[in-house]
DNA sequence: TTGTAGGCGTTATCAA
DNA sequence: TTGATAACGCCTACAA
């Protein structure tokens, strides 16, 4: 819409003119439009004195280069799409944190961030493709927590700056030809298991997340691999599948199942997220199971609330903020060097020990 | 960047051409570019048969109208800026929810959502103004939780579709000339106080949020007004100022202060947010104060975790999702009817009674 | 219902 | 270091 009737500016000599273009600025500064263009795009060299005159004229006229004209002319969109798989994705603290960090870096590079949530029933590829093709975006960040192999293959065909955020990074980047960033879920899980075994636990259960979610898959895989390599015996029904979108409920329900084998159940439960762990905590409380005396519970994510649960939760920290910074950096690099080969990045995680874990109670230990 | 080398499409007859324009589509369909334009902008009527031919040609060529050219020509940006006051704003579940809802509505109208976080040390007005002036945005949603009167006055001068999200709606819209949407903090607070007095509480304290935050201000004002009108005596130091950005810590610290007056302290504490209440809950637990027997605690927000605290939290629910939907609706209306007078909207809140509130313990009651 | 001409504001190219 | 010119792809007139 942009109805134009701005006529207040901190500058005294403001005109009533609705919208100044490079032409007006040029006239006022006594130069050509090209010089104005050069000053604002920073492309070629302009004599310092001329530059100042142009800038002054621009300020007086409240001039801003028209982004649409620029995009049309250069064929480059100064906007990066941040693609989320579902509306719920925004509610997770990690994507929010990543987005905030991402935006802060991009805005410093005069790049805008466009948010787009996956339209129901449309292929990932078409969605991403359309954003690029219409000129809306010059690059993409794709939240790929639950992306399938097929969708991934389709995405590879898209030739534009792109970073996959939180794709399960088990293959090498050459294998799928895309730059990815993710957490070291395996390392985090291993730290948790070692922490528990060091306390003396041998009977450890696992409550997983959404079965298609890469974080859940990786954490579960790692749990199995690590417990196995340590010679721990984990009954198959101690690995419970869960659902991140109904984390609390599911944590409670699965915990109820696990503690039903009185005296024979696990002495510790590792949850694929802190929210699941909070559900587990409530279930234990309701059933009269004391944490950590009767049961140790561990989460994953280190939400802010996790230091304030009863008892405070032992968990694995990983920073969405760092993720966002890294994604921004990689994307900008791809824009500046279009032929950069894809790379894979794994961010560190850190075990935070609080009060929800302790030695197993002697009565329940072997 | 958009290096063009897409050459895979579900359609068989895909060309190697990098990027089809309306011209190519027109040729292929045997019509003029104008007809193509009409088909895609839906502006004028086109014979159904022609329309189909054009659509088919477009599909074959993978044509998408160039958004920059359109914006340049029409002077209309099909992008709406969603302006946040701080990176932290994204972490609150309400803004995330609102954003998700907002995006879902806008995308149905072929409008894009641009995220922008307030640059440090730049005036609100300039920030908003630049986004509009550069043609990046055709309208704005401004998160105004902590906007000052001065900034507000400056914003009024901007003439573009705009909605203020969560501005303290105590003046009538004509007074400040801007459309605003917010929650009924007063009503919510009143419900909480009535709930507590109905249980028999007479000694009620309040832990507020960030002093400049409109929600905190309104909730605190409402608390004072309601307790006063009910003849409750609230010592001045029972109204504690807080900080939403350090909510947990501050909830714990202020609660510690409040319970230090053993036997003479409040029997109930109302917190300006659930996170503050979680801090309060932890403090009580640490100090051996049993909730709700010795102290009732109420929050505000109904976070998902609030049903899983120990004990589950009595709180006030308000929907960020509904907020986002309403904001979208109002903004679209302003775009379609540029001269719509500003309006003010207040969303309902709802008391959720859980287990953190109960009758005051006889020993501590008068 | 369809086509023709022109220009939106910027930058690439070439010349001075 | 600066300027003139053309073109980016689309849409608003108007004419047919």
pLDDT digits (tens, 9 = 90+) for A313-325: 999 999 999 999 9
Tokens of A202: 């041998």
pLDDT digits (tens, 9 = 90+) for B49-101: 889 999 999 999 999 999 999 999 999 999 999 999 988 888 888 899 999 99
Separation in Å, CA A309 to CA A49, A104, B286: 63, 31, 12
Mapped onto helix, strand or coil, the DSSP state of residue A27 is helix
A334 and A162 in contact (C-beta within 8 Å)? yes
Residue A3: pLDDT band with limits 50, 70, 90: very low
Provide the positions of strand D that have an atom within 7 A of a protein CB. Answer: 1-5, 7-13
Q: What pLDDT does A149 receive?
A: 84
Q: What pLDDT does A15 receive?
A: 36
Q: How far apart, in whole angstroms, are the C-alpha atoms of residue A242 and residue B281?
A: 28
CA atom of A68 to C1′ atom of D8, Å: 11
Q: Inter-chain contact A1–B338, Cβ cutoff 8 Å?
A: yes
Top residue of A103, A110, A115 to mutate, by most chain B CBs within 10 Å, is: A115
A125 and A103 in contact (C-beta within 8 Å)? no
Of residues B312, B293, B314, B282, the one with CA closest to residue B365? B293
Instruction: Spell out a b/e string for A77-113, using b for 16 or more CB atoms within 10 Å of the CB, else e.
Output: bbbbbbbbbebebbbbbbbbbbbbbbbbbbbeeebbb
Lowest mean pLDDT among A2-11, A66-75, B282-291: A2-11
> A68 vs A20, which has greater pLDDT?
A68
Q: What pLDDT does A339 receive?
A: 87
* B364 pLDDT above the threshold of 80: no
Q: Inter-chain contact A114–B117, Cβ cutoff 8 Å?
A: no
As a whole number, mean pLDDT of residues A87-91 equals 87
CA atom of B55 to C1′ atom of D10, Å: 17
Q: What pLDDT does A362 receive?
A: 77
Query: Which chain B residue's Cα is nearest to A279?
Result: B308
Q: Which residue is nearest to nucleotide C8 (CA to C1')?
A: B73
**CA atoms within 13 A of residue A288's CA, in its CB half-sphere:** 2
Close Cβ partners of A12 (under 8 Å, ≥ 6 residues apart):
none
Q: What pLDDT does B220 receive?
A: 97
Lowest mean pLDDT among A94-108, A169-183, A242-256: A169-183
Of residues B338, B265, B329, B322, the one with CA closest to residue B109? B329
pLDDT mean across residues, chain A = 90
Residue B173: pLDDT band with limits 50, 70, 90: low
Q: Which of B75, B104, B114 sits opposite A113 (nearest CB)?
A: B114
Q: Inter-chain contact A310–B309, Cβ cutoff 8 Å?
A: yes
Residues 192-211 of B with CB under 7 A from strand C: none
Nearest nt to the CA of B135 via C1' is C9
Q: How many CB pairs under 8 A join A and B?
A: 198
Query: Which chain A residue's Cα is nearest to B111?
Result: A116
What is the phi/psi pair of residue B157, to 5°? Answer: -75, -15
A281 and B308 in contact (C-beta within 8 Å)? yes
Q: How far apart, in whole angstroms, are the C-alpha atoms of residue A245 and residue A211?
A: 11
Residue B248: pLDDT band with limits 50, 70, 90: very high
Residue A56 belongs to what H/E stretch? helix A48-61
Residue B181: pLDDT band with limits 50, 70, 90: very high
Q: How far apart, in whole angstroms, are the C-alpha atoms of residue A206 and residue A208?
A: 6
CB < 8 Å to A93, chain B: 91
Query: Which chain B residue's Cα is nearest to A246?
Result: B304
Q: What pLDDT does B9 receive?
A: 33
Q: Which of B93, B133, B279 sits opposite A308 (nearest CB)?
A: B279
Residue B343: pLDDT band with limits 50, 70, 90: very high
CA atom of B49 to C1′ atom of D7, Å: 33
What is the phi/psi pair of residue B185, to 5°? Answer: -60, -35
Q: Inter-chain contact A87–B93, Cβ cutoff 8 Å?
A: no
Close Cβ partners of A13 (under 8 Å, ≥ 6 residues apart):
A60
Q: How far apart, in whole angstroms, are the C-alpha atoms of residue B194 and residue B343?
A: 30
Q: How far apart, in whole angstroms, are the C-alpha atoms of residue A301 and residue A315?
A: 7
Lowest mean pLDDT among B7-16, B149-158, B313-322: B7-16
B277 and B297 in contact (C-beta within 8 Å)? yes
B355, burial (CB in 10 Å: exposed 0-12, middle 13-18, buried 19+): middle
Q: What pLDDT does B16 receive?
A: 36
CA atom of A34 to C1′ atom of C15, Å: 14
Top residue of B4, B19, B61, B67 to mutate, by most chain A CBs within 10 Å, is: B67
Longest dimension (CA), chain B: 90
Of residues A72, A68, A52, the one with CA closest to residue A60? A52
Q: How far apart, in whole angstroms, are the C-alpha atoms of residue B278 and residue B297?
A: 9
What is the phi/psi pair of residue B301, to 5°? Answer: 135, -30
* B17 pLDDT above the threshold of 60: no
Mapped onto helix, strand or coil, the DSSP state of residue A344 is strand
* A8 pLDDT above the threshold of 60: no
Share of chain A above pLDDT 90, in %: 76
β-pair partners for A347: A183
Of residues B196, B198, B200, the one with CA closest to residue B223? B196
Q: What pLDDT does A14 receive?
A: 35
């994507």: which residue's tokens?
A95
Quote the pTM value: 0.92
pLDDT digits (tens, 9 = 90+) for A239-252: 999 999 999 999 99
Taking the alpha carbons of A151, A152, A158, A161 in that order, is the dihedral positive or negative?
A: positive
Q: What pLDDT does B168 receive?
A: 74
CA atom of B42 to C1′ atom of C4, Å: 20
B45, burial (CB in 10 Å: exposed 0-12, middle 13-18, buried 19+): exposed
């009527």: which residue's tokens?
B45
Residue B149: pLDDT band with limits 50, 70, 90: confident
Q: What pLDDT does B27 receive?
A: 85
Which segments of chain A are extended strands (E)? Answer: 79-84, 112-117, 139-143, 162-165, 179-183, 204-207, 239-240, 268-271, 296-298, 315-317, 344-347, 350-352
As a whole number, mean pLDDT of residues B8-22 equals 49
Mapped onto helix, strand or coil, the DSSP state of residue B344 is strand
Q: Which of B64, B75, B103 sits opposite A2 (nearest CB)?
A: B75
CA B251 to chain centre: 23
């Amino acid at each position: 819409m942009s109805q134009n009737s701005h006529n207040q500016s901190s500058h005294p000599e403001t005109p009533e003119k609705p919208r100044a273009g490079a032409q007006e600025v040029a006239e006022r500064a006594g130069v050509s439009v090209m010089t104005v263009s050069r000053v604002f795009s920073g492309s070629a060299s302009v004599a310092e004195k001329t530059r100042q005159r142009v800038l002054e004229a621009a300020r007086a006229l409240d001039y801003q280069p028209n982004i649409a004209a620029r995009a049309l002319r250069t064929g480059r969109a100064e906007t990066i799409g941040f693609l989320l798989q579902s509306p719920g994705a925004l509610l997770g603290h990690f994507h929010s944190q990543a987005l905030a960090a991402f935006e802060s870096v991009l805005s410093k590079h005069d790049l805008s961030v466009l948010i787009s949530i996956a339209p129901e029933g449309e292929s990932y590829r078409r969605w991403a493709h359309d954003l690029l093709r219409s000129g809306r975006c010059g690059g993409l960040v794709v939240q790929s927590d639950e992306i399938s192999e097929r969708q991934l293959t389709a995405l590879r065909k898209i030739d534009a700056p792109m970073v996959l955020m939180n794709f399960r990074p088990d293959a090498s980047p050459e294998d799928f030809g895309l730059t990815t960033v993710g957490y070291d879920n395996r390392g985090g899980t291993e730290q948790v298991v070692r922490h528990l075994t060091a306390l003396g636990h041998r009977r450890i259960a696992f409550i997983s997340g959404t079965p298609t979610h890469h974080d859940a898959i990786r954490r579960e895989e790692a749990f199995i691999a690590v417990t196995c390599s340590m010679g721990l015996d984990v009954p198959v029904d101690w690995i419970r599948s869960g659902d991140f979108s109904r984390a609390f409920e599911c944590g409670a329900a699965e915990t109820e199942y696990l503690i039903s084998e009185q005296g024979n159940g696990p002495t510790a439960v590792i949850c694929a997220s802190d929210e699941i762990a909070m559900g587990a905590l409530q279930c234990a409380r309701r059933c009269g199971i004391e944490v950590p005396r009767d049961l140790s519970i561990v989460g994953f994510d280190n939400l802010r609330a996790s230091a304030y649960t009863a008892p405070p939760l032992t968990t694995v920290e990983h920073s969405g903020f760092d993720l966002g910074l890294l994604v921004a950096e990689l994307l900008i690099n791809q824009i500046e060097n279009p032929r950069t080969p894809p790379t894979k990045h794994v961010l560190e995680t850190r075990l935070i020990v609080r009060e929800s874990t302790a030695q197993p109670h002697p009565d329940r230990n072997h």
